[in-house]
């Protein structure tokens, strides 16, 4: 069963599929970093294409198969 929801970037996990610019991309790795001002940044590394760096609180459409999104 695939569950889809809108979640904060901080909640994304390896193996999730994330909608980026209208395309679903599988997450290979998730890293955290800091802005120069001290705010939390999440870096999503995908199985193909470039990594995506965004604010930890930004909302993303996420598909997660077989496990809940809560």
The per-residue pLDDT for range 9-63, each reduced to its tens digit, is 999 999 999 999 999 999 999 999 998 898 999 999 999 999 999 999 999 999 9
- Give the length of the chain: 70
Query: If we measure between CA atoms, which residue out of 52, 4, 7, 8 comes closest to residue 27?
Result: 52
Class of domain 2-65: mainly beta
Domain range list for the chain: 2-65
Between residues 67 and 16, the one the model is more confident about: 16
- Tokens linked to 39: 């705010």
Question: For the whole model, what pTM was predicted?
Answer: 0.86
Rounded Cα gap, residues 28 and 38, in angstroms: 25
């Amino acid at each position: 069963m695939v569950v889809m929801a809108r979640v904060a970037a901080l909640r994304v996990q390896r193996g999730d599929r994330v909608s980026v610019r209208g395309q679903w991309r599988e997450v290979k790795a998730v890293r955290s970093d800091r802005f120069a001002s001290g705010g939390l940044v999440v870096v999503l590394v995908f199985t193909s294409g470039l990594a995506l760096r965004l604010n930890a609180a930004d909302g993303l459409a996420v598909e997660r198969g077989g496990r809940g999104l809560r």
